[in-house]
Amino acid sequence: MLHIVNKSPYERNALESCLRLALPGAALLLIEDGVYAATRGNVAEPRLREAMQRMDIYALRPDLEARGMAGRVIQGVKLVDYDGFVDLVCERPNCQSWL
Amino acid sequence: MLHIVNKSPYERNALESCLRLALPGAALLLIEDGVYAATRGNVAEPRLREAMQRMDIYALRPDLEARGMAGRVIQGVKLVDYDGFVDLVCERPNCQSWL
Amino acid sequence: MSEFENDAGGESAGRIKKFMFVNRKAPYGTIYALEGLEVVLIAAAFDQDVSLAFVDDGVYQLAKGQQTKALEIKNFSPAYRALEGYDVEKLYAERESLEARGLAAEDLIVPVEVLSSTELAELMAVQDVVISS
Amino acid sequence: MSEFENDAGGESAGRIKKFMFVNRKAPYGTIYALEGLEVVLIAAAFDQDVSLAFVDDGVYQLAKGQQTKALEIKNFSPAYRALEGYDVEKLYAERESLEARGLAAEDLIVPVEVLSSTELAELMAVQDVVISS
Amino acid sequence: MRLGILVNEGPYTHQASDSAYQFVKAAIAKGHAIHRVFFYHDGVNNSTKHTEPPQDDRHLVNRWSKLAGEHGIDLVVCVAAALRRGIKDEMLAPGFRISGLGQLVETGIEGDRLVVFGD
Amino acid sequence: MRLGILVNEGPYTHQASDSAYQFVKAAIAKGHAIHRVFFYHDGVNNSTKHTEPPQDDRHLVNRWSKLAGEHGIDLVVCVAAALRRGIKDEMLAPGFRISGLGQLVETGIEGDRLVVFGD
């Protein structure tokens, strides 16, 4: 399963719910305002580091760049472009957007 | 100041920010999905009870009724109809919606 | 359901996929719960393997005693009771979401299977299509 | 700002109110930051007493180094630097919001006055009009 | 009192338009004056006469038009926000007019309160 | 692969339409097929030809129309959601068509994946 989260971890509970309901081995892709969760110093950093032990965590580079956050990414988060987004969707058997 | 919060305390951080930035003596009106914060057993109950010590807390009855929550209101929260909503706006020198 | 006659039975006839609708939003504050139900009914009309999960504020959609008269908005909560008539019988609610809101199964207008987060996660993981709103 | 010539100087001429725009949303994910700025400029054109507060994810609006080319969305962050030219000089950021996001004043594209929650609350309380988005 | 209203979201998707309508109706019943209702952001989508909700649902656009007709309320749709969302003059339901953001600032100045409804 | 796309929000207000567009463009470039793009909820507002964003901004509706024209992508607007929001056949930009929710379910069945973009 590819989980897709597009909301800031401060503003909404989407990331929290996603991490609660994602099985080990699943992938998480952060897009749009969701990419803030991939940045150092963010409230979600501990939860993301914990999740990294059991899941692959990705963040969409164009969304990080737009927000001036490309230089603040937590080590271990893999950056992808839309190309990589498409690959992730195709590689995993199914996907879920946490709207 | 009348503070107006229309979001569920689970889904968004609006109530939390409002309570952080409301001065003692201010009023808080919960409307729309914000009324869930006025119900017993809700995650926001302790914060709301604490806020009640320094602020007047109101909830919009029609929104509680629509959501089946009219019977679950925390004691001390005052229920108002749209009439009362209008009065609150007029009685207080200014108002702020936490969108 | 006028769309049913036009759409069902096309090239998709006979193929059955697992569709899960994940309801995470409260009713009335936004339209997602209501419009989401319409997709559920159409998926059922296509004879798909449909399930509904109620998570986070989505569990509020099922709260008993909804009275929308003063709001002048239609009370659509009875529609959940009609789901059975469309053979939509797999309704799940996450225990953690219910408990965090002070709700129990008996506070809900329809019977649901209450699942732990892990149980629900395992169900989600085997779906073909997951639509959350 | 073609609206300026048409609208300013009407019956409201001469009256000055305190307008505070409370920015609580991140940029690009939604349009509120961008369209909110447009109201700020019009309020300034009406010679109102305008201030901007950056709270919660709103502080992200001011992050340095925004590069929107790959998104093909316009980078509107330079507009905050243009505010000074409209005599909009009261920019406040809440310290708690900055710190919770690992940001400091030097990470922002414009100088802002960093205020404690209490200081900002006191400023909000004396406004005539508060528009949050 | 003279009240200004700002509606930031479109009809149905968010409750904002419903809440604003109920508030305005109650304010009028109590004898207050509505200086203006200003529609911004997706709020501009409240103004189109092409809206056709299901028979058993409320008609938000007609509600606003009726209120405007009966009480002479000024319903103003922001021109920039409307263009961005494909709302044109010829689509407007009765009672709505398109104008600039200055009309919002003006209602902030002229009204005794500005009440904001949104997401 | 054959991908289905669901867009739940209108243009500009949320990034959903932008993200979906960039995703679809990348998928096509990689040789994947787009079975359908379905517009639901406020997503129906992506389809109106009357949209006029400022000159210096991207034109989301034209983007979709162009993509549909160049690659034969099926852009389907939900009829019920469209009526509720005042979107009619005669307003549609090139490449869009109005149909029922069955088209969404069908793309869920026929597509190898359904990717959802929204708020």
Contact E102 D132 (CB under 8 A): no
Tell me which long-range contacts E67-72 makes (C-beta under 8 A, separation of at least 24).
E67/E21, E67/E24, E67/E25, E67/E28, E67/E95, E68/E94, E68/E95, E68/E96, E69/E94, E69/E95, E71/E28, E71/E34
Cβ-Cβ contacts under 8 Å between C and E: the total is 21
pLDDT at F97 over 50: yes
User: Which candidate in D25, D55, D56 is best for mutational testing of the B interface (most B CBs within 10 A)?
Assistant: D56
Contact D128 B21 (CB under 8 A): no
Domains of chain B: 2-98 (3.40.1260.10)
pLDDT digits (tens, 9 = 90+) for E15-48: 999 999 999 999 999 999 999 999 999 999 999 9
pLDDT band at C133 (very low <50, low <70, confident <90, very high): confident
User: Quick one: pLDDT at residue C1?
Assistant: 40
Residue E14 at interface with chain D, using a CB cutoff of 8 Å? no
pLDDT band at C5 (very low <50, low <70, confident <90, very high): very low
User: Quick one: pLDDT at residue C12?
Assistant: 66
pLDDT digits (tens, 9 = 90+) for C12-65: 668 999 999 999 999 999 999 999 999 999 999 999 999 999 999 999 999 999
Alpha helices in chain C (DSSP H): 2-7, 32-45, 78-82, 95-100, 117-125
User: Quick one: pLDDT at residue D11?
Assistant: 58
Distance of alpha carbon B60 from alpha carbon B70, whole angstroms = 10
Q: Specify the number of domains making up chain F.
A: 1
User: Quick one: pLDDT at residue C112?
Assistant: 98
This prediction has a pTM of: 0.96
Kindly provide the ipTM of the predicted complex, given to two decimals. Answer: 0.95
Low-confidence ranges of chain D (pLDDT < 70): 1-13
pLDDT at B72 over 90: yes
DSSP state of D10: S
pLDDT, mean of residues A69-91:
98
* Chains interfacing with E (3 or more CB pairs < 8 Å): B, C, D, F
Residues spanned by the domain of F13: 2-117
3-state secondary structure (DSSP) of residue D61: helix
CATH number at residue E107: 3.40.1260.10
Domains of chain C: 18-132 (3.40.1260.10)
Distances (CA, A) of C67 to C35, C40, E12: 19, 23, 18
Mean pLDDT of chain F: 98
